[in-house]
Structures are given as C-alpha cells and as structure tokens.
Amino acid sequence: MATMKEITYAQAINDAMCEEMQRDENVFMMGEDIAEYCGAFGVSRGMLEKFGKDRIINTPISEQAYVGAGIGAAMAGMRPIVELMFSDFMCVCFDELVNEAPKMRFMFGGKVKVPMVMRTAAGAGTGAAAQHSQSLEACLAHFPGLKVVIPSTPYDAKGLLKTAIRDDNPVMFLEQKTLYRTKGMVPEAEYTIPLGVADVKREGADCSIITYGRMVQMSLQAAEKLAEEGIHVEVVDIRSLVPLDTKTIVESVKKTHRALIVHEAVQFGGFGGEIAGQIADSEAFYYLDAPIRRLGALSCPIPFNPNLERETFPTVDKIIAQVKSLM
C-alpha cells in the first residue's frame, strides 16, 4: 500500500513543480514576484533556493511580455511554467494566450510544439473585489488547442500539474485561491493523473451534481446534508474542462436521472451551459426525470464587501435547494 502524507493544496503544487524540475532540466518557472517573495500566495516557497535564479525567474509587471517570452521558450524546446498572479490579468495578455500559444502547432503543420503551463490563481472568496476575483474558464475553453484544468484537491492538483507540465500543448492551470490552504492526502510515491478524466467524488442514485474547483467541496457538504434526508447525490468532479470527460458525466446522469451543474463562475454564459448541452445531446437526455439545472454566480461584478461577496456565489444551502427542486 502506498505511503500517504497530508499536505496543503499549495504544497501539492509546489511539490509537483519541484519534482518535474528535478526530472527535466528544460522545465523552468517565470512570473511576477515568484523568487524571493515566493509568489502572491507563497506557492513557490523554497524553489529559488533549490533551483536558482536561472530557473526561478522574476519578471516585470508585464503579462503580455513574459507570456510571449514563455511561448517563445516553449517553441525553442523548453517547458516553461508561467505564473499569472491573478487570473484576471490574463485579459492583459489575451492575444498571447488565445491567438498565439494554442495556434502555433496547427499553423506550422505540427513542426513546432508549445509545451507551456500557465498557472494562475482564480476565483473569489478572499475579498479581492471585482478586478481580482473572476472565474474566466468558460472563455478559455472556447479556443481549440488550449487545455483547461481546475483541480479541487491536493491529490488532484499535484497529479494533474505533473501531467500538464509533460504535455506538448499549452495548458491553462487554474488554482482557486481559497483552496490553497486546504489539506488532503497525497501519495509520497510518483504519480500522475491524465487530463480529461473526471472523478466521481461521491456516489449516489438520486441526482448528479457536476462541478469543479472549490464548488466540489461545497457540493460534497450539500450531499452530506441531503443524505440525512434520504436524498443520495452523486458528485462528479470534471477536473478538466478541456478535454472534457463527457462519458463519465453521461453515465452518471443515466444512473441518477437528474443533473445539477454547479460552478463559481457567473451562471450566464458559464461552462455549465456547455455541460448541459453535452447532456442534452447525449443518450442521457432520454433518462432525465427533471430539467437540467445550473447554479452559478450572479451576473454582477464581484463585490468587495464580504457579505455581498458571499451572496453572489453558490452556497451549500443554494445547492441543497436546487437539488430538492429536481426531486
């Protein structure tokens, strides 16, 4: 039996990067304040001492410049890990993220690769207000050639990040910032998790909750409370939006006959609409005993006030209410 250890989500990401940098000398990291300061959330703590300034590189406050530099390094044979301090800042380098990185391999007929991981802190819950709290994953998922990953646990974060670093395509790796200090069990031995494979975090027979990121923990809490009332919910963590494990989603809905999709991002135009479409286009549609429901954030800029911020997003009580409405 594999030896396990309990670590934080942030430490799991740190461990994944360190292991891959030790394994492959072409892996390096660049971003704002990631060296001496260890990044805005301390994720790169200790890495400067281990790998030096040639591989842990502080950049200017110019996302457009250093993401572009990362693409160039990847095309030249390196495997950069590029950190954007907040996911909101991807708007500054959107041309590089969606018009350069995902398209080079196709435009050059497969003669070049862009093996680059772009890590970033996403989501709300820290009082960082409207310009530092957004969840923009649905937009990223719209661009062919770009993979999008959002882990919910330390175990998933480490295994998925190691896989992303080894991938020959650009991967957007979104880390929801309220998860950094959460803890979980992680094997001490080497392991990876393939992209595009969902994980059923809890089995049930009455309703499927399809979710990802920090909403996984919230959905599991809701499932615990619903079980006390005799409603047994299945929680499916998709883990990656692109590639999407449609098969696991479909099989879950066929079993439970009900589907609730939960995400932190704004509900209107959110990725939940794509998941709903995938269910509607599949054989699972004919098994449904109730309409497909979605639960996401309100359509408003994220408030600074913590009470208003909490009201903006899905909560355990809101998830419970939505599940009950399907019964």
Q: The tokens 């135009």 sit on which residue? A: 269
The Cα-based distances of 22 to 51, 77, 243, 270, 307 in angstroms read 9, 17, 27, 38, 44
Q: Where are the alpha helices (DSSP H) in the chain?
A: 9-23, 47-51, 63-75, 94, 104-107, 137-140, 154-166, 215-227, 246-256, 271-280, 306-312, 316-326
The Cα-based distances of 66 to 30, 58, 61, 149 in angstroms read 8, 10, 9, 21
Bridge-based pairing of strands 27-31 and 199-202 is unpaired
Instruction: List the one residue out of 301, 318, 320 whose CA is nearest residue 309.
Output: 301
Catalytic status, residue 132: yes
- Do residues 175 and 151 make contact, with C-beta atoms less than 8 angstroms apart? yes
Distance between CA 38 and CA 172 in Å, rounded?
A: 20
Q: The tokens 């281990």 sit on which residue? A: 50
Which positions are annotated as active-site residues?
A: 132
